[in-house]
Amino acid sequence: MGQAVKTIDRSWSITRSVYMWTNILNTPFWAIFNMLPFILYKDLHATPLQVTLIITLKPLVSLFSLYWSAHINKRRDRLLSNMIWARVLGHLPFFFFPFIDNVWFYIASFGFYMTLARGVVPAWMEILKLNIPEISREKVFAAGSLMGYIGNAIFPFLIGWLLDDYFQAWRWLFPIAACISLAAAFFKAKIPIPADVSIDLSNEVPQSWQQQLTAPWKNAWDLLCRRPDFLKFQWGFMLGGAGVMIMQPALPQFFVDGLQLSYMEMSVALTFCKGIGFALTTPVWARYLHKIDIFRFSALPPLCLCLFSVCLLSAQTSIFWLYAAYICYGVMQAGSEMCWHLSGPIFSKKEDSSTFSSVNVLTVGLRGCIVPPLGSLIAYSISSPFVIAVGGVLCLLSNLRLYSYSPKRGIQDSDPLNRST
């Protein structure tokens, strides 16, 4: 018994440390990566079509991420290799940034990285479920995310200064940041994965390419048909996600042409202020998730996004409102990432959570097919402030919808919809 407890404690400790270090080491890369649409628009004079495409790719590639994560379905033995190879392959294109001038190459690199970054989410969430007790899972996730966002509150000053004072410094910042991020692959290899005695590889039947192509979609459809509670969560979360996505294509135009921001001002808003909001509220979100049901919890981040849109529109009168807007965005993102990532383990109970998390990734891709192009069309046909207002309305509708799905009082505490203690 004592040896078993030591093994569990060791797995908990290693997994927690690796998760935190992964977030810390990825911080410099993520800070400059989020600036890429603005860099292409300002330095390389990307066309509106190209800007729209790169913003659309961020959610759209989730449709392809589904196939990267499909191989770990009920296969614990593939969890680590799935994450390590994704990190190595995803960073490789960025080492060529100093030598290539083609805007389409940057767009392809952006999309390829996001495909693999989304694809490893189910593997990470299943590892956290296997190695971290439920009572501590939210705290570990929050701690890892918090460490990453503390870095995001520091790096914008350095990045903004370099981008403003050194011509196309971003070409070298990307490979440097990619090297730092790649170091996390060595830590991931140390995570212990408990053996699954239910796996019998000798009886595994090879799938045809048609089966491999349709299997992730079939698994997602079967899950949603079998779990109406999870389907309701997806519908409500879909509205909030649409509100975020429809704003994104309008932001480069709004920032550069409307507000005429420098790189430093954009960096402070996009990373520093967002990081402050994230860091200050992440512990609060972690405690709150354990006290209320997942629907009421998920209804709160869209409400923060409504406030974000109001503050962003007010930035036309004072830059103070721009910084206030991104503090609100950081608050929203802290709660949204927590319910998006942890909803799979919460709803799955004792099932394999990777399929639940894969559905989350899939719905992001489905939104990405429609919403960002629609936002771009409205922005260039009417105005970018109008798109931001539309996004705020969609987020308000998401809040009302998710709150209406909240189960009635008296539901059993064992139900994943009710996390109250």
Dihedral pair phi/psi, residue 372, rounded to 5°: -60, -45
Which residues, 6+ apart, have CB-to-CB distance to 197 below 8 Å?
none
pLDDT of residue 151: 65
pLDDT of residue 210: 67
Token pair of 158 as six digits: 């350095």
pLDDT-above-90 percentage for the chain: 12
With a cut of 50, say whether residue 44 has pLDDT above it.
Answer: yes
CA distances from 99 to 40, 56, 172 (A): 15, 25, 10
With a cut of 60, say whether residue 417 has pLDDT above it.
Answer: no
Token pair of 392 as six digits: 């705020």
Least confident of 89-103, 160-174, 291-305, 329-343: 160-174
How far does Cα 22 stand from its chain's mean position?
14
With a cut of 50, say whether residue 1 has pLDDT above it.
Answer: no
pLDDT tens figures, 297-346: 899 999 999 999 999 899 888 888 988 998 899 899 888 888 887 888 88
**Can you tell me the distance from the alpha carbon of 62 to that of 209, in angstroms, rounded to the nearest whole number?**
20
With a cut of 90, say whether residue 117 has pLDDT above it.
Answer: no
What are the respective helix, strand and coil percentages of the chain, to the nearest 5? 80, 0, 20
Q: How confident is residue 93, by pLDDT bands cut at 50, 70 and 90?
A: very high
In the block, residue with structure tokens 């808003």: 269
**Can you tell me the distance from the alpha carbon of 156 to that of 271, in angstroms, rounded to the nearest whole number?**
6
Count of CA atoms in the C-beta half-sphere (13 A) of 289: 30
Average pLDDT of the segment spanning 122-134: 80
Per the model's pLDDT, the better-predicted residue between 231 and 365 turns out to be 231
CATH fold of the domain at 2-189+213-405: Growth Hormone; Chain: A; (1.20.1250)
With a cut of 90, say whether residue 271 has pLDDT above it.
Answer: no
**Can you tell me the distance from the alpha carbon of 251 to that of 36, in angstroms, rounded to the nearest whole number?**
13
pLDDT of residue 157: 65
CB burial of 232-254 (b: ≥16 within 10 Å; e: otherwise) equals bbbebbbbbbbbbbbbbbbbbbb
Comparing CA positions, the residue from 261, 281, 393 lying closest to residue 321 is 261
**Can you tell me the distance from the alpha carbon of 402 to that of 297, in angstroms, rounded to the nearest whole number?**
9
Q: How confident is residue 195, by pLDDT bands cut at 50, 70 and 90?
A: low
Across the chain, mean pLDDT equals 80
Please answer whether residues 119 and 65 qualify as being in contact, where contact means their C-beta atoms are separated by less than 8 angstroms: yes
**Residues counted in the chain:** 421
**Can you tell me the distance from the alpha carbon of 124 to that of 115, in angstroms, rounded to the nearest whole number?**
15
Token pair of 416 as six digits: 């994943």
Q: How confident is residue 81, by pLDDT bands cut at 50, 70 and 90?
A: confident
3-state secondary structure of 75: coil
pTM, full prediction? 0.69
With a cut of 60, say whether residue 20 has pLDDT above it.
Answer: yes
How far does Cα 116 stand from its chain's mean position?
12
pLDDT of residue 308: 93
**Can you tell me the distance from the alpha carbon of 359 to that of 275, in angstroms, rounded to the nearest whole number?**
27
Q: First and final CA of the chain: distance in angstroms?
A: 29
Count of CA atoms in the C-beta half-sphere (13 A) of 103: 18
- Cα torsion angle, 56, 58, 59, 61, sign: positive
Angle, in degrees to the nearest 10, between helices 134-152 and 121-131: 130
Q: How confident is residue 94, by pLDDT bands cut at 50, 70 and 90?
A: very high
CB burial of 381-391 (b: ≥16 within 10 Å; e: otherwise) equals eeebbebbebb
pLDDT of residue 179: 92
Please answer whether residues 289 and 339 qualify as being in contact, where contact means their C-beta atoms are separated by less than 8 angstroms: yes
* C-beta neighbour count of 279 within 10 angstroms: 20
Least confident of 247-251, 286-290, 411-415: 411-415
Q: How confident is residue 410, by pLDDT bands cut at 50, 70 and 90?
A: very low
Domain edges within the chain: 2-189+213-405
With a cut of 60, say whether residue 198 has pLDDT above it.
Answer: no
**Can you tell me the distance from the alpha carbon of 2 to that of 92, in angstroms, rounded to the nearest whole number?**
44
3-state secondary structure of 25: helix
pLDDT of residue 112: 92
Average pLDDT of the segment spanning 92-113: 90
Give the largest CA-CA distance in the chain: 68
With a cut of 90, say whether residue 96 has pLDDT above it.
Answer: yes
Q: How confident is residue 132, by pLDDT bands cut at 50, 70 and 90?
A: confident
pLDDT tens figures, 378-404: 887 888 889 999 999 999 999 998 888
**Can you tell me the distance from the alpha carbon of 133 to that of 345, in angstroms, rounded to the nearest whole number?**
11
Token pair of 191 as six digits: 């995570």
pLDDT of residue 209: 60
In the block, residue with structure tokens 């767009």: 107
Q: How confident is residue 60, by pLDDT bands cut at 50, 70 and 90?
A: confident
pLDDT of residue 409: 44
pLDDT of residue 109: 92
pLDDT of residue 4: 47
CA 293-344-32 angle, 5° bins: 105
| Highest mean pLDDT, choosing among 2-6, 148-152, 222-226 | 222-226
In the block, residue with structure tokens 């290693």: 14
